[in-house]
Structure 1
Amino acid sequence: MTMSFFLLLHFFLTAVVVFSDQLLSVTTSNCPLNFSTIQKFPPKTTTDKCQYTLQAIHLTQSFLLKTSSLFVPPSNASTSCWQDLTTVLSQHFQSFDPLLDCGFSTPWISQGCMNITTLKDFESVVPSSALDDVRDKCYQLSNNSATCSSCTVTLGNIKAGYLNGSDKGNNVTDCTSYPAVYAAGVVTATVDDDSVLCLFALDSATVGTGSSSSIQWVIGVVVGGVFLLVGGALIGLWRRKRKRKRRRRRMREMSGDRNDCKGAGSVAQLETIQSHTTLVRYTFDEIKSSTNGLSVRNIIGRGGYGNVYRGILPDGSEIAVKRFKNLSDGGDEDFAHEVEVIASVCHINLLPLRGYCVAKSQRFVGHERITVCDLVTKGSLHDHLFGDDEKRRKLSWPIRQKIAIGMARGIAYLHHGAQPAIIHRDIKASNILLDDEFEPKVADFGLAKFSPEGATHLSTRVAGTLGYVAPEYALFGKLTDRSDVYSFGVLLLELISGKKAIVENTNTKGEALMLSDWAWEMVKEGRALDVVDNCISELPTEKMVLEKYVRIGILCSHPQLQERPLMLQVLKLMETDLKVPIIRERPISLISNINVIERSSNPGSSGSGHSSSLISKES
C-alpha cells in the first residue's frame, strides 16, 4: 500500500512538472531578437548604459525586420528577450539590469510605435514617395558625413511627417527609432560598420586596429579640413580681388548720367532681372521727390541695413523706400542679390518688390542703393506686439491666428515653393508687415540665401537677430531651412504670449531667459495657458487650440535641429486637427546661468544631465 502511494505520488508530481513546462511554453516563447549581433559594437564608456541598451535593441530590431518583416518580437517573448539582452549586457556592465536601472517596462520591447508591428503596417502609414526618398538617400551609406546627414534628415522627415502618434511613455520601441530600423532592415545595401554608425551611433571594435585607426581617421579629417579651409580662403581672396578689378574697370568705362540708376556696377545683373519681371527702375531724382528729399521726417523704420522712408509717387501710390547704408562700390553684388531674391518670389504672404534704384549721388555720398515696395499701412507685427497697449489689444485671437498661419504659409513657400529654395535667415517681428486686413507679409530679404533642396550651408559669418537665431547656426554656422523654423517658433511664441524672445527670469533678477525655455517649463508644469497673453480677446471656446499653438511654437524652437518639423508640416498642424508630436526634453538653455550648468553636469543633481549649453552667462 505504501509503495503504491509513493508511485502514485511520483506519477502525479511528474505530470505536474510536465504540465507546468507545457503551460510555460504556451505563455512564453524564445526571443527572436539575436543580441549576439551587438558584440561587434561594444560600448565606448560605462556611463551611458541605458542609451547603449536602446541602440542595441534598435540594431537587433533591424535584423529581425530583415529576416521576418517584423519590427518587434511577439508579446509572449518580452520576458525572454529582456533576459537574453541582460545576459549579453553583463559582459560589459556589472550588476546592470536594464529594467530596474533604466526604468524600462517589460512589455515595451514588444509594443510598436502607433501599433505598427510589421513591415506591411509601416508601409501603409508612410507613403511610397517618402519611402522612395529613403531608398534614394540611405541605400549606400559610407563614412562620408554628407551621405549620412542626407539620410538622417530624410528619416527625421518621415518621423515628423507620418509617425506622430503617442508612444505612451515607451522609449524602447518608440516612433523616433522606427525610420532608422526600417532603413537598416530594408533599404541599406549591407548593414556594415558605416551604416550602423550612421543609423544607430554604434561604433565597431575592429580587432587590433580599432583605436589607432579611429585616431588616424580623425587626424586625417582634421588635417584635410584645415587644408580645405586655407585653400578655400585663398581662392576666395583671389576671386574677390579679381571681381573688384573688373568692377573698377567697368566703372571707368561707364559714361552718361551718374544720377540715374544706370550708373552702378550691378546694372547688368539688375537689368537681366528686370527683363524677366515687372520691376520698375527709378531714378534717384524720383526717389528724392517722392520722399521730400529723403527727409528725416519721412523715416518710418531703422535697421542695421539703413533706413526706410515713406514716400508718395506722382500717381498717389504710397511706397516704402529702403535706403541701404553701405555706400561703397563693393556692395553692388549684395544689393543685386536682395533684388534677385525678392523678384523671384510671388506669394500673398511675401512683400512684393515694386522697383529699385542704383545711382552715384553727388558730393562724396557715394553709391545709392534703394529698393521700393508698396507701403504696408499697419506697420510691423513688432509695432503691434511691443509698441503700445492699444495696438496690442486689437490683436484678438482670430487675428493672431490669421497672422500665425499667414507667416507659416509665406515661409513654407520660400522653403518648398520657390525654385531654388530660399532660407530667409532673419525671421522676426519687425520683418512681418501687416496690411489693412491684418494679412501678414514676410519682408526684408537682405540676408536671404538661395538653397538647393536638402542642402546645408556652413558659414563663418552668422547673420540674424539675437533671440531668433537657431543654436546650430549661431554656434557652428550650420544653416538649413530648419534654422528659419526655429526663428518662426520663437516668433509664434511672441505672438501668443506678447513677450519678447528674451525675457527676464522672475525667479532670479537680472538673469536672462529664452522665451521658448520659459514656455516649455510652463507646459511641463501643466500651465500651458499661462503662456497666452492675458489681453487677447475673442478667445476660442476650445482651450486646447491655444495649448496646441503654444506646443507648436515650442516644437519649432527646439534647440536640437532634428526635433524641429519642416514648415510644410508646421502649416499642416495649424490648418488641421493633427496632434502636435511628442516634444523631447530640451537641453539646458543657451544662456543658462553658470550655476544651472554646474547642476546639470553634476551626476548627483536632479538636472537633465545634458551638457549642451554652449553659451553661458556668469551670474
Structure 2
Amino acid sequence: MQIFLRLKAKKYQSEASYSFRFKNMANSVALGLYITICCIAFIMSKIIVSFLLYKRWARKRRMMEDTLSGGKMVMFRSPTTQSLTSKTFMKMTMKLSNKDIIGSGGYGTVYRLIIDDNSAFAVKRLNKGNTDRDRGFERELNAMGDIKHRNIVTLHGYYIAPQFNLLIYELMPNGSLDALLHGNRVQTFFQNYVMVSVLFSASHKNIDTGKSSKEKPLDWPSRCKIAVGAARGLSYLHHDCIPHIIHRDIKSSNILLDQNMEARVSDFGLATLMEPDKSHVTTIAAGTFGYLAPEYFDTGRATTKGDVYSFGVVLLELLTGKRPTDESFIEEGTKLVTWQYNEDATFEVQM
C-alpha cells in the first residue's frame, strides 16, 4: 500500500513539475513575443512620428511653391515672407528695370524689389551659364536656404525657369564694404533706396539709413566690427555648415552691411551653382583677381585656406582704404599684399 501511494505521489509530482515547466516556457515565449512586438511598435511609431514631423517641417519651410510661366517659385518661411503671395511677388518682379539695379557681377545682376512698407528684397538674376534646371540645382538652393546666421545674407527664396533664374535675398540697406570704402555707383543706388525706404519704414522700425556712413569717416571701432562680423560669417561656412562651404569669391563687394552696420557675407555657394559639373578642387574660373591666393593660379584648387587668404586681402583693404587693383599698384608693378612690406612705401590710411 505504501509503495502504491509513493508511486502515485511521484506520478502526481512528475505531472505537476511538467505542467509547471510548460507554463514557464509558455510564459517566457509570451513575454519574448510581447517584448518583440513592443520593440517593433516603438520603432515603427518613431519612424512614423519622424516622417510626420519631417513633412510638417517641410510644409513650414516652403511657404509657397508654385508653377508660374513655366517656372517654379519657392519661398522659405520667415517673418519677412509670411504675408507674401507668389503672384504678388512675380508681378512686382516683372516690373523691375535698369533703374532698380543696385549691383552686378560675374554671376548676375542684382535689383532692389520693394513689395510694401515692410517688405524689401534684393533679387539676383543669375546669368544662365550652366544653371540648368535639375534636382541638383534645386537641392543646392534648398541647402542655401537652410543657412541662418547673423553674419550671412539670408536667402528667402528662388525662382527657376527656362528663361532665367532668380535668387531672393534680404536687402542690405548700407550696401557693400567696397562701396563704403571706395564710393561708387553701387553705393549711390543703395543710398537712394535707403533714403526712400526710411520714409515709409521709420514708423515701423528703427532703421539706420546708412547716410551717416557717407557723411563721416568709417572709424576704427566700425572697421573692427565689420572685420569680426565677416570673419564669423566665413568661419560658419567653413566649420559649422554640413557639408562645409568654400566661398571661392571673398572680396569687399561680397561683404554687405545691414542697418546696424553689421557685416554679412553674401554670394556663398554661387560658384557651385554656376558650375555644377566642376568640383571645388578643380574649378579654375571662380574668384576675383587681386583677392586670389597665389597657389590658386598654379593648382586651380579652391580651398578654405584660399578663402582665408582672400579675407586677409579684405582686411588690408579695410585697413588701408586701397583696392587690391588700385592704379598705383599697377604703375609700381606691385599689389596690395606686397605693397605694405615695401620699405619705401608711404603708409597712409584712407578714411
TM-score, normalised to structure 1, is 0.37
Match of 1:465, SS state, is coil
1:384 and 1:392 in contact (8 A); partners too: no
Counterpart amino acid of residue 370 in structure 1? L
Q: Are 2:290 and 1:467 aligned?
A: yes
Q: Give 1:503 shift.
A: 3.1
1:353 and 1:372 in contact (8 A); partners too: yes
Q: Give 1:339 shift.
A: 1.8
Aligned-residue RMSD, C-alpha: 3.6
- Cα distance in 2 for partners of 1:498, 1:463 equals 24
Give 5+ residue unaligned stretches, structure 2: 1-65, 188-212, 274-278
Q: Give 1:378 shift.
A: 0.6
Q: Which residue is equivalent to 1:514?
A: 335
Distance 1:334 1:392, change over 3 A: farther
Q: Which residue is equivalent to 1:346?
A: 148
- Cα distance in 2 for partners of 1:258, 1:328 equals 22
Of 337, 346, 356 in structure 1, the residue corresponding to residue 158 of structure 2 is 356
Distance 1:488 1:331, change over 3 A: farther
- Cα distance in 1 for partners of 2:85, 2:182 equals 36
Distance 1:473 1:328, change over 3 A: closer
- Cα distance in 1 for partners of 2:260, 2:349 equals 22
Q: Give 1:291 shift.
A: 4.2
Q: Give 1:356 shift.
A: 1.3
Deviations 1:389-410 (A, max 9, x none): 9738531111001001111111
Distance 1:446 1:392, change over 3 A: farther
2:246 and 2:304 in contact (8 A); partners too: yes
Match of 1:354, SS state, is strand
Distance 1:333 1:488, change over 3 A: farther
Match of 2:174, SS state, is coil
Q: Are 2:121 and 1:319 aligned?
A: yes
Q: Are 2:267 and 1:444 aligned?
A: yes
Match of 1:483, SS state, is helix
Q: Which residue is equivalent to 1:368?
A: 164
Q: Which residue is equivalent to 2:108?
A: 306
Q: Give 1:355 shift.
A: 1.4
Distance 1:478 1:327, change over 3 A: closer
- Cα distance in 2 for partners of 1:261, 1:371 equals 13
Of 69, 78, 96 in structure 2, the residue corresponding to residue 259 of structure 1 is 69
Distance 1:350 1:288, change over 3 A: same
Q: Give 1:328 shift.
A: 7.7
1:503 and 1:513 in contact (8 A); partners too: no
Aligned residues: 254
Counterpart amino acid of residue 416 in structure 1? H
Of 378, 386, 411 in structure 1, the residue corresponding to residue 234 of structure 2 is 411
- Cα distance in 1 for partners of 2:103, 2:91 equals 19
Counterpart amino acid of residue 483 in structure 1? G
1:434 and 1:441 in contact (8 A); partners too: yes
- Cα distance in 2 for partners of 1:395, 1:490 equals 18
2:151 and 2:229 in contact (8 A); partners too: yes
Q: Are 2:258 and 1:432 aligned?
A: no
1:503 and 1:512 in contact (8 A); partners too: no
Counterpart amino acid of residue 503 in structure 1? D
Of 287, 290, 303 in structure 1, the residue corresponding to residue 92 of structure 2 is 290
Q: After TM superposition, list the pairs within 5 Å mapping 1:125-524 onto structure 2.
A: 258-259=68-69, 261-262=71-72, 285-291=87-93, 293-314=95-116, 316-326=118-128, 330=132, 332=134, 335-336=137-138, 339-359=141-161, 366-387=162-183, 391=214, 393-448=216-271, 457-505=280-328, 510-522=331-343
Q: Give 1:417 shift.
A: 1.5
Match of 2:319, SS state, is helix
Q: Give 1:480 shift.
A: 1.6
Q: Which residue is equivalent to 2:349?
A: 533
- Cα distance in 1 for partners of 2:347, 2:271 equals 31
1:259 and 1:283 in contact (8 A); partners too: no
Q: Give 1:458 shift.
A: 2.9
Match of 2:236, SS state, is helix
Counterpart amino acid of residue 263 in structure 2? P
2:176 and 2:256 in contact (8 A); partners too: yes
Counterpart amino acid of residue 334 in structure 2? L
1:422 and 1:448 in contact (8 A); partners too: no
- Cα distance in 2 for partners of 1:514, 1:307 equals 28
Counterpart amino acid of residue 281 in structure 2? L
Q: Give 1:336 shift.
A: 2.9
2:179 and 2:253 in contact (8 A); partners too: yes
Q: Give 1:260 shift.
A: 5.7
- Cα distance in 1 for partners of 2:235, 2:246 equals 10
1:457 and 1:480 in contact (8 A); partners too: yes
Distance 1:284 1:346, change over 3 A: closer
Counterpart amino acid of residue 349 in structure 1? N
Counterpart amino acid of residue 342 in structure 2? E
- Cα distance in 2 for partners of 1:411, 1:513 equals 27
Q: Looking at secondary structure, tell me which structure has more strand per residue.
A: 2
Tell which deviates more after alignment, 407-416 or 313-322. Answer: 313-322
1:358 and 1:369 in contact (8 A); partners too: yes
Tell me: higher relative CO, structure 1 or 2? Use CA pairs within 8 A at least 6 residues apart.
2
- Cα distance in 1 for partners of 2:255, 2:288 equals 14
1:318 and 1:375 in contact (8 A); partners too: yes
Counterpart amino acid of residue 335 in structure 2? M
Q: Which residue is equivalent to 1:32?
A: none
Deviations 1:185-214 (A, max 9, x none): xxxxxxxxxxxxxxxxxxxxxxxxxxxxxx
Match of 1:330, SS state, is coil
2:250 and 2:310 in contact (8 A); partners too: yes
